[in-house]
Amino acid sequence: MKIIASADRAFKAAVKKVVSRSSIQGDKVEGTVRSILKAVERGGDAAVSRYTHKFDKVSIKPEAFRITPDQMREAYYKIRKEDGDALRYASHRITAFHERQKSAARTWMYQDEGVTLGQTILPLDAVGLYVPGGKAVYPSSVLMSAIPAKVAGVKRIVMCSPTPRGEMSPYLLVAADIAGVDEVYRIGGVQAIGAMTYGTKTIPRVDKIIGPGNIFVSTAKRLVYGLVDIDMIAGPSELLVLADGGANPNHVAADLLCEAEHDENASVWLVTTSAELARDVVRRVQEQLKSLARQKIAGRSMQHNGMAFVVGSLDEAIALADEIAPEHLSLSVENPFKYLEKIRHVGAVFIGRYTPPAVADYVAGPNHILPTGGAARFHSALSLDAYIRKSNIVSYTKDDLYKVKDHVIRLAHMEGLDAHAQSVEVRLK
């Protein structure tokens, strides 16, 4: 992990490199992804089976794509009771948080001088969840993507996850069952995105695809957008720790490694007003790294994508954090709530010295599916809004239409749209 101060010549270049990172670099794989999607669109289940065998090295016939109710029940016997309890506790917390968002997700109308205006707000019919299953298993992501769908009232919740060894993790299955997933398919990769987009004989199409994946999956989601909706194009995990000199270097190092162990491509940054803290954190990272099971992954992430920025003031630190627009930001400073509304571009903020990223990842309740690659400048955390659709309501009486006819007709003629004007005039003759 490199340390660079704002007075250093290389500071601006280092910041520019971080700011200009992209969530995904899909150009190199786009041709391959397009060909797989086209094959699934044309070949359906047969193409899904073929690519699953090619990439996951497992042969699955279409009739075996879907996990059976018996397999779901058997999963409970393959995990410890305490693990099931932890998943249920997390489920309860996530449900409680997203239930609070329901008040803003109801149909509403009002009268404006006799005109009725408003919006219908209804759940999507079918949502597809993509859950990675390669380097690591993430039952928490099953809960985070499925529970808001259930709270929103989505009628059909589908989950796809790859099974490179032929069997799906029991933790994923138990999480899916707890969260109320209706259909679970043991397929992954681009072929799963294609199946959920176009539909096959075995897997009916969905309206929206939600969940992170590798560069192939992210590119596939980008390419099918428009045929289905997607949540976002998620890239590697990110964490920025914004700390003053009073932060505990052990805590900061642990938080950085917490994010780095996700992926070799994960990015972690420390932005601090204390050069001494930066030096201490770099030392503690090396010490703590030795005991991690995923030492190689976290080590590569820290080496290639880890950076400590030393700046002159907390205002400078906040400005830099906003420019980077990280997925996660840990605010380890005195009186942290004082600075909360100054931080504009971030997926999630962890406030105070005793809010490690892990608590937000698992049991706090807010969603951990967040914008990456700087997309926090314009994209929000996953919420109930992702699972609903809004339609505008407009209702005029004859008298109401008469009152506004001149304005409507004038605007229609202004734009050269005579039929628009006529649609008003014909009603009032």
By annotation, the residues acting in catalysis are: 327-328
DSSP string of 325-377, one letter each residue: --SEEEEESSSGGGGGGG--S-SEEEESTT--HHHHHHTSSS------TTGGG
Residues 6+ away with beta carbon under 8 Å from 89? 363
Q: What is the distance between the alpha carbons of residues 180 and 255, in angstroms, rounded to a whole number?
A: 32
Q: Which two tokens stand for residue 183?
A: 């259909």
What dihedral angle (degrees, nearest 10) is formed by the CA atoms of 59, 62, 68, 72? 50
Q: What is the distance between the alpha carbons of residues 254 and 250, in angstroms, rounded to a whole number?
A: 6
Residue with token string 């190689």? 296
Residues 6+ away with beta carbon under 8 Å from 79? 170, 171, 174
Question: 3-state DSSP call for residue 143?
Answer: helix
**Residue 110 belongs to what H/E stretch?**
strand 108-112
Helical pair 398-414 and 418-428, crossing angle rounded to 10 deg: 160
Q: What is the distance between the alpha carbons of residues 155 and 161, in angstroms, rounded to a whole number?
A: 20
In the sheet that holds 388-395, the strands lie side by side as 108-112, 115-123, 388-395
386: which DSSP letter? G
Task: State whether the Cα torsion 213-219-221-222 is positive or negative.
Answer: positive
In the sheet that holds 238-243, the strands lie side by side as 2-5, 306-310, 267-272, 238-243, 328-332, 348-351
